[in-house]
Amino acid sequence: MGGKWMRWMAPAPPASNVPKCSCHRLLGKEPPNDSKDCRPGSLTGRALFSDVPRGMAKDVFQVHCVSATGRRVINKKIKRAKLLAFLETLPRCVVGMEACGSAHHWGGELRKLGHDVRLMPAAYVKLYVKRGKTDAADAEAICEAVRRQSMRFVEIESEDQQAVLAIHSARDLVVRQRTQVVNMIRSILREFGHILPTGIEAVSKFAREHGTEDQLDMPEIADGILGVMCHQLNGLNARVDGLTKLIEQHAWLDADARRLMRMPGIGPITASAIVATIGDAKQFETGRDLATWLGLTPLNKSSGGKERLGRIIKKGDRYIRKLLIIGMTSRSLMAKNKPEKADTWTAKLPDEQPFRLATVAMANKSARIIWALLTKREEYRQPIV
């Protein structure tokens, strides 16, 4: 006979004696005898979540679980109230989620259960969606993305970080509201021929003095609306001052923030925002990675051995990028108006270079210095000429 030699094999044990693997224990089903996935405790599993869109996202999660070999085990919707209880029944596994609203909260809760939680940017997960836009497809895409060696993950923020960032978000909101009210006051006055000097201080002074002096030459109704806007501006100024003092107090209590505040152009607000947002700076391998994450590096369109660099990418955290550029703008203006107080690197910038281009370049360089200070735990030193 030309066939292969046959070997004797022991008969398979009865189905009742086959140990159930973790995945089938969860489903309450009997594992098939020929399944390679069904080994005791084989659900090293990956429980993956995708928020159900729009109205249901607050109440329902889409869960997608696979076994150690990638076989799908669970794909269903679970109510928010039952999600934590469901995850407590799972063995320790890899949990992937999109880095979206409340993801840091859930990441912290799942870590307490012993799971390996990995947050991913939604833009990176979208590449693994096969077809259409459904919650099940999104959860499956998360499952594919979290297993990629090249995937970049988002660091889970602690509750202290979230609290500090909440202060920054509130202050940023109030500042934007104040800008809107200032523009409204200026527009009302301009319609009746009254022009205020440039700057927010001039409008704030007008708002404080409104009502204490003679009525302006305008209809009484318009003056009444102007009074409402001035009262609103006074309240917003008080809120901005209170939130600013709160951020400054927290910054002076943080060692890393104090270290950053020794840099030119970095104040308490910028230092506090950087430390609270970044967390562990060692998650970035180089200073350029941090600058790229802040959107301060040029867009690269190189091909065929030819290097083509464009404008800055403007991706990442817009708030920190804005604060850094504002700080470097102040630093550049001081160097221009008071050259004797300028540091060596700022003084060497060519005068013919566009002003905004110079400030963005300074912000890029500052981001790399920030990475070095936070990773090496060193104090800032002025560069040697």
pLDDT band at 301 (very low <50, low <70, confident <90, very high): confident
- Give the pLDDT confidence of 38-70 residue by residue, as tens digits: 333 333 334 444 443 333 356 888 888 888 788
Examine the fold and report which residue of 253, 281, 304 is the final residue of a domain before the chain moves on: 253
Does residue 6 form part of some domain? no
Give the orientation angle of helix 220-253 with respect to helix 159-191, to 10 degrees. Answer: 150
Q: Which domain holds residue 338?
A: 257-376
Compute the C-alpha angle 190/192/196, nearest 5°. 40
Examine the fold and report which residue of 103, 123, 146 is the final residue of a domain before the chain moves on: 146
The pLDDT value given to residue 9 = 43
Amino acid letter, 61: F
E strand or H helix at 358: helix 355-376
Compute the C-alpha angle 331/333/174, nearest 5°. 70
What distance in Å separates the CA atoms of residue 7 and residue 143, rounded to the nearest whole number?
40
**CATH of residue 79:** 3.30.420
Examine the fold and report which residue of 92, 122, 146 is the final residue of a domain before the chain moves on: 146
Does residue 348 form part of some domain? yes
What distance in Å separates the CA atoms of residue 98 and residue 118, rounded to the nearest whole number?
9
The pLDDT value given to residue 91 = 86
Tokens of 204: 């704030």
For residues 138 and 32, membership in a common domain is answered with: yes
The pLDDT value given to residue 199 = 92
User: Mean pLDDT, the chain, as a whole number?
Assistant: 83
For residues 28 and 137, membership in a common domain is answered with: yes
Does residue 262 form part of some domain? yes
The pLDDT value given to residue 344 = 66
Total domain count for the chain? 3
Q: Choose the most confident range, by mean pLDDT, from 13-27, 92-106, 256-270, 353-367.
A: 256-270
- Percent of the chain with pLDDT strictly greater than 70: 81
Query: How many CA atoms are closer than 13 Å to the CA of 350, on its beta-carbon side?
Result: 4
pLDDT band at 314 (very low <50, low <70, confident <90, very high): confident
Residue 6 has pLDDT above 70, yes or no: no
What distance in Å separates the CA atoms of residue 218 and residue 364, rounded to the nearest whole number?
49
- Give the pLDDT confidence of 173-219 residue by residue, as tens digits: 999 999 999 999 999 999 999 999 999 999 999 999 987 777 788 99
